[in-house]
Structure 1
Amino acid sequence: MRAIPTPWHTIGPFFPRTFFHDGDNDLNRGAARGQRIVLRGRVLEEGGAPCVNAVLEAWQADAEGRFAHPLDPEGRDADPGFLGWGRAWTDEDGRFEFRTIRPGGYDDPAGRRAPHVNIMVIGSGIMGRLQTTLFFPDEPANLADPVLLSLPAPLRPRLIAAPDSEEKGVPAFRLDLLLHDAAGGETPFFED
């Protein structure tokens, strides 16, 4: 994968509130195995202005590093209580939140993947979908993850979430996504 610059134009898409339902941001709709966590952050435009009404989708492996997908060779053993996918919408301050479990790592043809959550962003002013990956702090497997290592070393910390305040005993992590920054401080996004 290679990092790409974020295009900057004011156009749609525009999504109606009916596009979302209560609980769409909860990947734990069943009785998922694993450590429950909260992922939150803000989507920001250049200068720190909030990106309002952006749609974020998150997908990830279960706690054992399996996807409930036919292309995963271990998909038949994926946690049936874990959805693995969710959708959130940014509010007037650009905030979003997902409820999920801490994912497991897994083997990939490119190399061993560290626990991570894939995030896609679409919204007004974005000329297509943006894809990035959230990694967890203090994770030894980050040192060998092929996606994280594909970035220049100074950009890697921009994809590592920070611990955030717990919510009712559930650990939380925060990663803000900066869509464009003339000084080059934006979040790294990847092509398909």
Structure 2
Amino acid sequence: MTYNPENRRFPLSQHTIGPFFPPGFFQPGDNDLTRYSADATPTEQGEVFILHGNVCKEGRLPVPNMILEMWQADANGRFRSECDPEGDQADPDFIAWGRSWTTMEGDYSFRSVLPGSYEEDGQRRAPHLNVLLMGIGLMKPVTTTLYFPQFAELNAKDPILNLVPEHQRDRLLVQPDGEVDGVPAYRFDILTRGPADEETIFFET
């Protein structure tokens, strides 16, 4: 990039997005969608689970201090939003949104409940999790949508998942991974940059 004397604009360095926040910026329980705060009573609706995994880049190198945000419907497929015609019936104890960040090893985790299915624009959405990433190595936030393997019939009809070529859809499935703290766990590792057939699938927003 060159300096333009007519508008006196100088080139800026091509840094990735910021600012970046230290772990102390986040509050305990930020990654727990089952309650409104760390000392609040958790929801009694739905099946609690843990989603965890690793964020890495090319060469499978871990990406530390990556911020992840996750949002979803409640156990009955409702959102606490005026955009949802059934929003007034949404679970009052379920916050539906959370934030996590990666450790120096690139690890992250969320605690939530299995989301319900719902109708959107006349089409049935399969239970899913929306995840946004921002941080080191990304020029802008990126978003992906994760699905559960046990809902194969609903997955096959989900309009967003069907935007992905059929042979690649399994790359958006979380994987059962035993238990963590006595509740079912699922794993989803995220590759921000790498070979096209391995890099995590992100959607334009």
Structure 1 length normalisation: TM-score? 0.91
For 1:128, the aligned partner's letter is: K
User: Quick one: distance in 2 between partners of 1:131 and 1:180?
Assistant: 14
Preserved contact between residue 111 and residue 146 of structure 1 (Cα < 8 Å):
yes
User: Quick one: distance in 2 between partners of 1:129 and 1:110?
Assistant: 29
Q: Is the partner of 2:32 in helix, strand or coil?
A: coil
1:110 Cα offset (Å): 5.9
Preserved contact between residue 65 and residue 104 of structure 1 (Cα < 8 Å):
yes
1:47 Cα offset (Å): 1.2
Identity level (%): 47
Between 1 and 2, higher relative CO (CA 8 Å, sep ≥ 6) is seen in 1
Deviations 1:150-192 (CA, angstroms, capped at 9, x unpaired): 1011221111000012023311101111111134421110111
Alignment equivalent of 1:11, drawn from 9, 16, 19? 16
Preserved contact between residue 52 and residue 108 of structure 2 (Cα < 8 Å):
yes
1:115 Cα offset (Å): 0.4
1:137 Cα offset (Å): 1.2
Q: Which segment is superposed worse, 108-117 or 118-127? A: 108-117
Q: Does 1:24 align with 2:30?
A: yes
How many residues align structurally?
Answer: 184
For 2:177, the aligned partner's letter is: D
User: Quick one: distance in 1 between partners of 2:100 and 2:141?
Assistant: 15
Listed as ranges, the gaps of 5+ residues in structure 1 are: 1-8
Listed as ranges, the gaps of 5+ residues in structure 2 are: 1-13, 36-40
CA root-mean-square deviation: 1.4
Alignment equivalent of 2:182, drawn from 156, 159, 169? 169
Q: Does 1:111 align with 2:111?
A: no
Structure 2 length normalisation: TM-score? 0.86
User: Quick one: distance in 2 between partners of 1:62 and 1:168?
Assistant: 21
Q: Which has the larger radius of gyration?
A: 2
Preserved contact between residue 17 and residue 134 of structure 2 (Cα < 8 Å):
no
Counting only pairs closer than 5 Å after superposition, residues 27-46 of structure 1 correspond to structure 2 as 27-29=33-35, 30-32=41-43, 33-46=45-58
User: Quick one: distance in 2 between partners of 1:152 and 1:101?
Assistant: 28
Q: Which segment is superposed worse, 38-47 or 10-19? A: 10-19
Deviations 1:118-177 (CA, angstroms, capped at 9, x unpaired): 000000110111100110112121111111111011221111000012023311101111
User: Quick one: distance in 2 between partners of 1:105 and 1:182?
Assistant: 32
For 1:144, the aligned partner's letter is: K
User: Quick one: distance in 2 between partners of 1:121 and 1:110?
Assistant: 29
